[in-house]
Structure formats: C-alpha cells, structure tokens
Chains A and B, each alone.
Chain A
Amino acid sequence: MIDQLLNSTSIPLLEKMAMFTERRQNVLAGNIANLDTDNYRMQDLPTADFQHALRAAIQRRNAPGFQQSMNQATPYSESSMGQASFMPKLETAQIPAMTESIDDLFTHDLFQAEEADPDNVIFRDGNNRSVETEMMKMTKNSMMHQFAVEMMSIQMRMLESVVRERV
C-alpha cells in the first residue's frame, strides 16, 4: 500500500532526477579535474534525452488508464461486518502495463556520459576546455538537484502529515 501511495506522487520521477543530477555532477567534476589534461574532451550526460524521458513518464502517468489502474489497485471496500479494509482485488494483477514502473523509460544510456560541446575551441594540447561553461553547467545541475530533493522532501512531509492526521 505504501508503495502505491508513494508511486502516486511525483517521488519516483524526482528520484530519477536526483539520480541523474548526481551522476552528472560526477562527470562535471571529472571535467574540471581534467581541465589541463592533454587530449581530454569535455564529457556530459545526454540532458535533452533525459528531459524527453521525463516528459514521456509524466505523459504516461497522466494517461487515463494509469490513474484508473492506480485507483483499482487498492480498492476500498467495506465488508459485511462494517469494517473497512483494503483488499487487493485479484484481477488487478491482470491490469497491464500502466502500473508497471517507469524504469523502462530511463535506460542505462541516459546515465552514460559522452563527448559534449563539439563547438568548443580545441586547444593545442587537444583539450576543449571551457571553464565558464563547465561551472555554469555545474551550478545549473546543482540547482536541479536541489529542486528535486526539495520537492521530494515536501511530498514526504505531506505524506507524513496524512499519516499523522495533523499538519
């Protein structure tokens, strides 16, 4: 039950975002460490592809079938004794695809760095450094991470107040 409660929020997506920004931080730190390395080329994760995956995941969540299957997944039913109970219906197992996780959208490739900034000047040592670009990327990335973490934290707090039945 708690799984479905969590999955109905945006926490799974925010989790992916935090994961992505952490990986990206590693790669950007690597770029800065290698600012003076001969023949090193700046690396970056495919941010545009990640945004596409994020959008696809949101669209999938908003699709009517998904919401429906979420509602059916833990039907609230009152037994004849008048006691409320959460009874998973057997046929929920057959509700296809939509409840399945979003992991298939966020493939392994999204978290693999590749050569970036093909327009950068290549210096005589074979390095295409641009300190400003790297620092700017890192700042933006850190803000994205902060956003994801903050939102996650807020959602957690909301769930917590629901559980406690008070704000």
Chain B
Amino acid sequence: MLRAIDISTSGLIAQRQRMNTVSENIANMNTTRDANGNPSPFQRRMITFQASATNPDEVAKGVGVQYEIEKDPESKPRMVHQPNHPDADENGFVKYPDINMVKEFVNALEASRAYEANLAALSTSKTMSRASLRILE
C-alpha cells in the first residue's frame, strides 16, 4: 500500500515539475539574452516523462514516473524586425524565443488535471491503508 503512495507521489512531483517548465517558458517569452548578458534567445524547455522501471517484473507491480527537462530541439527563434533594439543583428532583426502561449497554457491545464488525478489516487490509497489498520479495532 505504501508503494501506491510512493507511485502517486512520483506522479505529483512530475506534474509539478511540468508546471514549473511551463511557467519558465512563459516568464521567458521575450528573453533575448542569456545569463551572461550576451544576445541569445531563451530556448523553450520541455519535459519528458518515462516510467521509472521498464523490466516486466517491476511493471507488473505498478511503476512510478520520472521526468527529464531538456531544451526543445525543434524550437527555432522568432525573428522580429526591431532595428533600435540593443540585441538586433546587422540587418535589424532581433531573435525572440519561439514560445506559443496557447501550447503552454494547454500544457499547464493538462498538468493541473493530471496532478488532481494523482491526488485523488493518493487519497484513495490513504483511505485503504487506514481501513486495513483498523481491522482489529
């Protein structure tokens, strides 16, 4: 029963982390410089999930989830013509991060629903283990 609680917790952590990447992306929507102040647009972060075990014996007992955060390889900077911008190149174009607000919000919504689902699973597990402990009462 404690295993179920651990599994749901791993799900909660993963979804919260997903929410963090979404906020990171939205916060950096217009970031044109890196941490050192050099002109380099922020690259969209993406999170990938994978089951925490793949061997059939473990999967048969129920597995948690683990995550990895990487830079989105498909994200190409958005070029905007702004000759007065300090980070503009010689042609007057500024590279902005390619972040789609709609995509991020959908992601956030999904993360929040999945978080709720995990929370519901967790409270079911809790009720069950509490009932088991009370057999002799």
Contact = CB atoms under 8 A, between A and B. Distances in A.
Interface string A60-92: 000000000000000000000000000000000
Contacts of B10: 33
B61 A23 contact: yes
Interface string A6-40: 00000000000010011101111111111111101
Nearest to A35: B114
B134 A142 contact: no
A104 B113 CA distance: 42
B80 interface: no
Given A30-B63, A43-B60, A149 B7 contact: no
Interface in B103-137: 110, 113-114, 117-118, 120-122, 124-125, 127-128, 131-132, 134-137
B128 A145 contact: yes
A112 B56 CA distance: 10
B62 A43 contact: yes
Given A25-B4, A32-B11, A146-B128, A156 B135 contact: yes
A30 B64 contact: yes
A161 interface: no
Sort chain B's interface into a size bin. 35 or more
Contacts, number: 121
Interface of A is mostly: helix
Contacts of A134: 117
A113 B59 contact: yes
Contacts of B14: 33, 36
Given A149-B135, A152-B135, A156-B136, A33 B65 contact: yes
Given A149-B132, A152-B135, A153-B134, A114 B60 contact: yes
Nearest to A26: B62
B121 A29 contact: yes
A28 B7 CA distance: 10
Interface string B1-41: 10111011011001100100000000000000000000000
Nearest to B47: A36
B135 A25 contact: no
A153 B135 contact: yes
Closest 3 CB pairs of A and B: A33-B11, A30-B62, A26-B62
